[in-house]
Structure formats: structure tokens, C-alpha cells
Amino acid sequence: MTPPAGKVIDTLVADSNQMQRQLLVAALRRHAEFHVIACDANAQAVLHAVAEHPFQVALIHPENDLTALRSLHLAHPEVAKILLLDVSSRDSVIQALRAGARGLFCFADSPFRLLCRCIQRVCQGQIWLSNQQLEYLIETVGQVPALRVVNSHGANLLTPREEQVVALVADGLTNRDVARELGLSEHTVKKYLFRIFDKLGVSSRVELVLYAVTRSAARQAEWIPA
């Protein structure tokens, strides 16, 4: 729940580096608007801490992976999560958002005073991203997904456009939606599907989706002109 204006924000700091954890906790406790409790950044410690105390915001500085963030998001989606990054790369940004982060903060790019504002904004239900992180997100969303389908020798079975059609159908889009997404006519999409069915030896959309899920690898593809 979002606290009323002027109320204290219960904040969890999860960091596997004890020195960094102590410094961050000490810095936040200088601000009366935060009630801070700390723990290790492994999933078990984070889930135990949240079970013991109803935190509104969790700051997570992962050591190696995003397991703690994902576990917390699945178990407690109501807790607003901020991932503390050492380096803000495209992959780290996208992976963190997919894992449930509502805010991303990199000390290499921003001063501590902005972290306090980040906590407040995320607690209020807002998203906190830098301009560069937002650019990464927009670029990723703007790409059309594709599924690479290969034969036993590793050769592509489908053209790049056909791979895009398969990916969108596998995501549950109708022919009309696929046509709108790719800037094609529905008739053209149907022609693509007939060719895809013939190449893959399937006879229905259900079989195509199952084939795509079990026999292909996801990748990002650029827009391909019709």
C-alpha cells in the first residue's frame, strides 16, 4: 500500500556485501521518512525478511543473478522492488524489468539523494528509470520478436518474415493482429501461414504454436519491409 504523505516508508535493503549493506542502511536511516531493515540478497533471506515485516519497498543489490528479485515478485507482488545496478546495460535493464523491478538505480550514474526520491516515487506506484534505461526499454519493445526454426543440420527452415509471423502467432495474435503488427494485409498473412504449415509439416495454428514452443529458439528481429 502507498503510505499517506509524511508517513514512514518501510524499506528492505538486501545486499550480499556486508560493508555496502551497512553503508546504505546508515545513509537511509539519516532520513526520517525511511524505516530500514537489512538482510542478505539471497532469495531465502529476502523472503524470510518480508514474511517477518510488511515492507512497502525492497532495494535489492544482486550478487550474481536475479533469483531473489524474481522470487520476491512471485511471492509478494505488492512490494515495490528497486534493483541496484553496478552497471546499467541493455540486458541488465530488460532482465530486471521482466523479473519484477519497478525501479532501477545505478550509483555510477546518479547521486544518493536521487535514490531517496526513487524510493518515494516507486512506493507511490510510479516507475523509476533513467533516460538511457528508458531508451533501452523503448528499443526492445519496438522490435518485432522472431523464432528461429532450424532443421537437424542447423539450416533455417523459414524466412525472417515467416519467423516473425510464427512468433506473433505463438504469442496469441490473430491474423488481423499479425497483419496490423507487420503492416501486411490479412490475405498476405494467410499466405504466409499456408507456406509455413507446408514447410514445417503442420496443419493448424495449434500445431504451429506447439512446434514453435518445442522446436525453436527466441530471438529479436528488426522490422522487415513487406
Where do the domains of the chain lie?
9-139, 143-221
Cell of 226: 513487406
Residue numbers in the chain where pLDDT is lower than 70: 1-6, 142-147, 150-152, 154, 215-226
Residue 100's identity, in one-letter code, is G
Give the pLDDT of residue 103.
96
CA distance 38 to 157: 52
Domains 9-139 and 143-221 share a fold: no
Residue with cell 528461429: 148
Q: What is the pLDDT of residue 1?
A: 43
Give the fold, CATH level 3, of 143-221. Answer: Arc Repressor Mutant, subunit A (1.10.10)
Residue 151: what pLDDT? Answer: 67
- Domain 9-139 coded CATH 3.40.50.2300: yes
The reported pLDDT for the residue numbered 72 is: 96
**Is the sign of the CA dihedral 89, 69, 44, 80 positive or negative?**
positive
Provide the residue count of the chain.
Answer: 226
57-61/80-85 β-pairing: parallel
